[in-house]
Amino acid sequence: MPLDLTASSVDLTRAICDIPSVSGDEQTLADAIEAAVAPLAHLEVIRHGNTIVARTDLGRAQRVVIAGHIDTVPINENLPTRDIEIDGEAFLWGRGTVDMKSGTAVQLKLAAELVDPVIDITWMWYDNEEVEASKNGLGLLAAVRPDLFAADFAILGEPSNGEVEGGCNGTLRAIVRTVGVRAHSARAWVGDNAIHRAAPILSRLAEYQAREIPVDGLLYRESLSAVRIAGGVAGNVIPDACEVEVNYRFAPNKNAAEAEAHVRGVLAGFEVEITDAAEGARPGLDAPIAQEFVAAVGAEPRPKYGWTDVARFSALGIPAVNYGPGDPHLAHHDQERVPLAQIDAVERGLRAWLTAR
């Protein structure tokens, strides 16, 4: 079904949410977005895989990148979308309404309507954000067209409750292993139980005190958590191996090497393999253009605890923030839902900044 960019942002949210686009299956939605923006004379449209870029070229003194991912985590009987009311407030319920198709819908509407913005805009709608970094459409585009990322400021439409969330925490994953000796469970004393050997690992993680670290005026909260445990051979065998997967969310005052050193310190005495790490992003709110944006949308800056693609822009020296409708706590939730009023408010905020003179 064609996308109608003259519709309201709320109706556009319904339309793009009802086109399933679980990570790896975004082509139908990418095709619809490309078809909708390609006829717009004020935009240069570029496609790379299932990532769509649309740019103004008005010769403005500054340029902003405004980006949103078009994929979702797997659907769990939460499509098609539906309208619901909770305590008198209207919501749109369904997969992607929060993370982050409502933000993408706002962007699509403004991309169509803002033919004469006060700042040049590069709109980016990309695939595979919810999976491993090697598949991320934004990263793949940057590898072949770094010129498209030239900008003075970047905004990611990630859910932020309609507030501005500066920067983001970094994330590190590690596998912590224990080894033992197999034996028949009826003669357990002959063996050495690797799962039991993991108990100190879990104790250290359970007792870990999350730190709050101020970075450029925002207070980031860290966490170190077990997210998966695997071990066991059979119901009558003492296991000889156990793995605990650990995720460390670290403040943007440290790099990946410092984060790794911290994890290894907490888990000293155990075999630790680092499997993935992505550095965070400092808030970047000291840049004049960022301050102008925050003032225009009337938001109170907050820290972003989760990792987002603002980190890609921060690594390029571009200050970046998260600004979108939806409660981050409901991202990926089976009761994912976005307040209709927040969709409208984010549209007004972005429009005001991009057209103010």
Q: Which residues are catalytic?
A: 71, 129
Give the angle 278-283-286 at the CA atoms, nearest 5°. Answer: 145
- Tokens found for residue 324: 């979108």
Tokens linked to 264? 């290894």
| Closest C-alpha to 102, from 349, 347, 332, 301 | 347
Largest CA distance in the chain: 80
CB 183 within 8 A of CB 200: no
Cα-Cα-Cα-Cα torsion 287, 290, 291, 293, nearest 10 degrees, comes to 160
How distant, in Å, are the alpha carbons of 43, 100, 340 from that of 112? Answer: 9, 19, 21
Do residues 311 and 173 make contact, with C-beta atoms less than 8 angstroms apart?
no
* Range 39-43 contact pairs with CB under 8 angstroms and sequence separation of 24 or more: 40/111, 40/112, 42/115, 42/116, 43/111, 43/123
What is d(CA 12, CA 8) in angstroms, rounded to the nearest whole number?
6
Q: What is the DSSP letter of 253?
A: T
Closest CA to 122 of 95, 145, 150, 97: 150
